[in-house]
């Protein structure tokens, strides 16, 4: 089928796994599994923002460099970054050296702190936008959804930057707010079981 990739183990995966060797472990172990850890959610949001206009492979290959440069995306630490940190990051060849995206990450860390005070956690806020199961379209047939549009608007209203509906949808796909694995993908059932056992944050 055009929408699947047969991995070396002989089992079907989502078609995009065939794009690069590093995609397969990311797909099998991370993509789509539900996450309620604020630091991981913030990291993913930042990396999706940095990806804007680039390929996910570029970001995935630089992820450890990003983690080192941004204190593993501890938003309490990133919120304290100043112009000296911006200059340091602009000289760091291991990441994407884009002033606007760097400054957005710092701004969003400050907004994340505010959101935790207001809502209890990032996870509790993001998971409110989980789409209803009967509202889902066929896997990987959309790049935005009504829920991702709503999440993007809610974050922008709170002062977040570089978070459009497409970025919000990619976050929702990756962090398990929906199971967007293709119907023939061997990982789909594992993700579905993880979602069934997952305790939604409140």
Nearest to 13 by CA among 178, 21, 24, 176: 24
15 is catalytic: no
User: Which 3 state secondary structure label does DSSP give 52?
Assistant: coil
119 is catalytic: no
Task: Supply the pLDDT for residue 170.
Answer: 96
Q: What is the tens place of the pLDDT at every residue in 180-191?
A: 999 999 999 999
Looking at 4, 31, 56, 160, which residue is catalytic?
56
Instruction: Give the whole-angstrom CA distance, residue 97 versus residue 179.
Output: 32
Confidence at 1, pLDDT banded by 50, 70, 90: very low
Task: Supply the pLDDT for residue 53.
Answer: 87
Length in residues, the chain: 202
Instruction: Give the whole-angstrom CA distance, residue 153 versus residue 143.
Output: 16
Q: What is the tens place of the pLDDT at every residue in 120-145?
A: 999 999 999 999 988 899 999 999 99
Looking at 4, 31, 43, 48, which residue is catalytic?
48
Task: Supply the pLDDT for residue 2.
Answer: 52
Across the range 155-173, mean pLDDT stands at 96
Q: What is the tens place of the pLDDT at every residue in 20-78?
A: 999 999 999 999 999 999 999 999 999 999 998 899 999 999 999 999 999 999 999 99
CB 86 within 8 A of CB 99: yes
Task: Supply the pLDDT for residue 3.
Answer: 72
26 is catalytic: yes
Looking at 15, 16, 22, 26, which residue is catalytic?
26
Q: What is the tens place of the pLDDT at every residue in 89-106?
A: 999 999 999 999 999 999
The β-bridge partners of 5 are 13
Q: Which residues contact 64 (CB under 8 A, 6 or more apart)?
A: none
Across the range 141-161, mean pLDDT stands at 97
**Mean pLDDT of all residues in the chain?**
96
């Amino acid at each position: 089928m055009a929408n699947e990739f047969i991995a070396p183990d002989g089992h079907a995966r989502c078609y995009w796994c065939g794009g690069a060797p590093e995609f397969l472990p990311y797909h099998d172990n991370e993509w789509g599994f539900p996450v309620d850890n604020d630091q991981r959610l913030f990291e993913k949001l930042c990396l999706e923002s940095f990806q804007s206009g680039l390929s996910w492979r570029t970001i995935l290959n630089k992820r450890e460099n990003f983690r080192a440069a941004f204190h593993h995306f501890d938003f309490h630490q990133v919120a304290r970054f100043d112009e000296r940190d911006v200059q340091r990051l602009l000289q760091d060849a291991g990441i994407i050296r884009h002033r606007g995206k760097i400054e957005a990450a710092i701004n969003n860390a400050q907004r994340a702190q505010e959101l935790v005070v207001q809502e209890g956690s990032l996870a509790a806020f993001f998971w409110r936008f989980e789409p209803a199961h009967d509202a889902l379209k066929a896997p990987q047939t959309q790049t935005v959804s009504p829920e991702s549009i709503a999440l993007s608007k809610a974050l922008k209203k709170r002062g977040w930057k570089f978070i459009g509906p497409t970025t919000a949808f990619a976050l929702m796909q990756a962090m398990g707010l929906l199971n967007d694995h293709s119907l023939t993908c061997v990982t789909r059932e594992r993700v579905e079981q993880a979602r069934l056992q997952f305790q939604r944050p409140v």
